[in-house]
Amino acid sequence: MLEVVKLECVRGDRRLISGLSFSLRQGELMHLHGHNGSGKTTLMRTICGLIQQSGGEILWNGESSRKLGEEFTRELTYIGHKNGIKDDLNGIENLQLSCRLAGMPIVRKTAWEVLERMGLRGHEDLPVRVLSQGQKRRVTLARLLLSKAPLWILDEPFTALDMAAVEFLQSIISLHVEQGGMVILTTHQEVRLTRGQVRQLRLGWKEEGDV
Amino acid sequence: MFDAFLAVMVRDLVLAMRRKTDVFSTLFFFVIVVSLFPLGIGPEMNTLRLIAPGVVWVAALLASMLALERLFAADYDDGTLEQMLLAPQPLFILVLGKVAAHWLATGLPLVLMAPLLGLQYDLSADALRILLYSLLLGTPALSLIGAIGAALTIGLRGGGVLVSLLVLPLCIPILIFGAGAVEANVSGLGEQGHIFMLGALLVLSLLLAPLATAAALRVSAE
Q: How far is the alpha carbon of B142 from chain A, nearest alpha carbon, in Å?
A: 26
| Nearest residue in A to B221, CA atom | A50
Q: How close B201 gets to chain A, by Cα (Å)? A: 30
Q: What percent of chain A has pLDDT over 90?
A: 42
Interface of A with B in 113-132 (CB under 8 A): 127
Chain B contact present for A52, CB below 8 A: yes
**For A121-174, how does the pLDDT look when each residue is reduced to its tens digit (9 = 90+)?**
888 889 999 999 999 999 999 999 998 899 999 999 998 899 899 999 999 999
CB B163 within 8 A of CB B149: yes
Query: Which residue of chain B comes nearest to A10, CA vs CA?
Result: B222
Angle at B212 between CA B211 and CA B213, to 5 degrees: 90
Percent of chain B with pLDDT over 70: 100
Please state the pTM of the whole predicted model: 0.90
Confidence grade of residue A194 (pLDDT, cut at 50, 70, 90): low
B129 pLDDT band, cuts 50/70/90, is very high
Phi-psi region of A162 (alpha: psi -120 to 50; beta: other; left: phi over 0): beta
pLDDT band at B184 (very low <50, low <70, confident <90, very high): very high
Q: In whole angstroms, what is the distance from residue A153 CA to residue B95 CA?
A: 25
The domains of chain B are located at 2-221
| pLDDT score at B115 | 93
pLDDT attached to residue A19: 86
Structural element, H or E, at residue A16: strand A14-24
Q: What is the mean pLDDT of chain B?
A: 91
Q: What is the pLDDT of residue A196?
A: 61
Confidence band (pLDDT; 50, 70, 90) for B213?
very high
Residue A209, pLDDT score: 37
CB contact B222 to A (< 8 Å): yes
**How far apart are alpha carbons B73 and B161 in whole angstroms?**
14
Chain centroid to CA A43: 12
pLDDT for res A140: 93
- In this structure, the strands spanning A29-33 and A182-186 are parallel
Residue A211: is its pLDDT beyond 50? Answer: no
Q: What is the pLDDT of residue A123?
A: 86
CA A55 to CA A57: how far, in whole Å?
A: 7
**pLDDT at residue A207 greater than cutoff 90:** no
pLDDT of residue A202: 80
**Chain segment A18-35, per-residue pLDDT in tens:** 888 888 988 888 888 888
DSSP label at residue B124: -
For residue A77, what is the nearest residue in chain B, using CA coordinates? B86
Query: What would the mean pLDDT of A45-74 be, rounded to a whole number?
Result: 90
pLDDT at residue B45 greater than cutoff 90: no
How confident is the model over B74-125, as pLDDT tens digits?
899 999 999 999 999 899 999 999 999 999 999 999 999 999 999 989 889 9
- Residue B63: CB partners within 8 Å, gap ≥ 6? B26, B27, B29, B30, B33, B106, B110
The band of B209, judged by pLDDT with boundaries at 50, 70 and 90, is very high
A87:B84 CB<8 A = no
Q: What whole-number distance in Å separates Cα of residue B191 and Cα of residue B180?
A: 8
pLDDT over 70 at A210, yes or no? no
A196 part of contact set with chain B, CB < 8 Å? no
Model pLDDT for residues B192-203, shown as the tens digit of each residue: 999 999 999 999
Q: Average of pLDDT values for B40-50?
A: 88
Residue A53 clears pLDDT 90, i.e. is over it: no
CB-based contact B82 A52, cutoff 8 Å? no
Whether residues B14 and A73 touch (CB distance < 8 A) is answered with: no
A50:B87 CB<8 A: no
pLDDT the model gives residue B163: 86
SS3 sequence of B78-105: HCHHHHHHHCCCCHHHHHHHHHHHHHHH
Q: How far apart are CA B152 and CA B149, in angstroms?
A: 5
> Residue A73 carries which side chain, given as an amino acid letter?
T
Q: Using the beta-carbon criterion (under 8 Å), do A50 and B80 form an inter-chain contact? A: no
Q: Kindly indicate the confidence band of residue B189, based on its pLDDT and cuts at 50, 70 and 90.
A: confident
Q: Concatenate the DSSP letters of all residues of A129-155 into one string.
A: GGS-HHHHHHHHHHHHHH---SEEEEE
For the segment B4-9, the average pLDDT, to the nearest whole number, is 93
ipTM for the complex shown = 0.87
Q: Pick left, alpha or beta for residue A15 (phi over 0 → left; psi -120 to 50 → alpha; otherwise beta).
A: beta
Q: Are the C-beta atoms of A25 and A1 separated by less than 8 Å?
A: yes
pLDDT tens for B142-151 read 999 999 999 9
- How far apart (Å, rounded) are the C-alpha atoms in residues B17 and A159? 32
What does the pLDDT read at residue A206? 46
pLDDT > 90? residue B215: yes
Q: Which residues of A touch B84 (CB under 8 A)?
A: 101
pLDDT of amino acid A195: 64
